[in-house]
Amino acid sequence: MDFKELQELIRILEESSLTEIEVEEEGRRIRLQKPGPPAVLQPVAMVPVVAPSAPVVADPSAAETEEVDEACSLPTIDAPMVGTFYAASAPGEEPFVQAGDTVEENQTVCIVEAMKLMNEIATKFAGIIEKVLVENGQPVEFGQPLFAIRAVE
């Protein structure tokens, strides 16, 4: 992408009601985003942290390490806001997607609840969900990866 194309994307974003544009070309991804209202932070209970008496040494297996490394190198579907992640439309319902599922562009993959509003989160491109990176009901931050997805062409 050359400088003129980048300027054109910026002009489109500024003149439209869009809040974000993301383009991927030749392995490079560019995301332009309008500043939004500041996130509303809610008080969090303070929990004392107790240091363990002896150092804990984790010995992850090579397979687990490979899986994490591979998931980290894939494109992700990120949280567009601070809120609570829900994998399904209601308690007891099947999740929208699971690892291994093929998804289409603009398909709903989860819900992020923010300020009592349920916001459906959709994919921006078709692919295969490789890994769900958060637990159901877990609080998420703006920009936090929710899913690792492998693009299909």
For the stretch 82-94, pLDDT in tens is 999 999 998 889 9
Q: Is 84:112 a contact under the CB 8 Å cutoff?
A: yes
- pTM: predicted TM-score of the whole model, two decimal places: 0.54
CA atoms of 10 and 19, how far apart (whole Å): 11
Contact 123, 152 (CB under 8 A): no
The torsion angle over the Cα atoms of residues 137, 83, 81 and 36, rounded to 10 degrees, is: 180
- Measured distance CA(76)–CA(55) in Å, rounded: 33
Which amino acid is it at 69?
A: D
Domains (range + CATH), the chain: 1-36 (no CATH), 74-153 (2.40.50.100)
Q: Most distant CA pair in the chain: distance in Å? A: 59
Both tokens of 113, joined, read: 């609840």
Q: What is the mean pLDDT of each run of 10 residues along the chain (153 residues)?
A: 76 75 74 64 54 51 44 83 93 93 94 90 92 94 93 79
